[in-house]
Amino acid sequence: MSAEERAPLRVAALDPGREKCGLAVLERTPAGAPRVLLQRVIETAHLEEEVRGAIEAYAPALLVEGNGTTSREARARLSRALPALRIETVDEYRTTDLARRAYWEAHPPRGLRRLLPVSMQVPPVPVDDFVAVLLAMRYLETHG
């Protein structure tokens, strides 16, 4: 099947963490390029309701979850709260480094900070949402 013939596929993605999580919803377009529909950092304390809201608003086919240290706990919580939700695990290897790079591409440094290489800078906000986008993209690349 060619890229033009592929049906749209929506995927939610979660980068679980102890205090905060990245949440994203991406859609693969008929041409195959992913489009970000939702991208944000959420509090882990509100995990179930935030994911439920994203599922209701965007109707993704499944949720992909990073395999980091808190992934088992997050998966158990979501399985209890949303038993019909299909959850698949995606490898998180190097996603934080890639997310930092993606952050600086989306928000280039200004002023004197632009003179420093971004590899030497730490983003001023959490990048968990960028990690979630990367996890969804990994899934779409390997399951498309």
CB 16 within 8 A of CB 66: yes
Query: Residue 104's CB: how many other CB atoms inside 10 A?
Result: 17
For domain 3-142, the question of CATH label 3.30.420.40 is answered with yes
Residue-level pLDDT at 4: 42
Residue-level pLDDT at 7: 53
Residue-level pLDDT at 144: 61
Residue-level pLDDT at 3: 45
Query: Strand 9-15 and strand 20-28: pairing?
Result: antiparallel
Listed as ranges, residues in the chain with pLDDT below 50 are 1-5
Q: What is the pLDDT of residues 2-35, one digit of tens each?
A: 444 455 689 999 999 999 999 999 999 887 789 9
Q: What is the pTM of this model?
A: 0.91
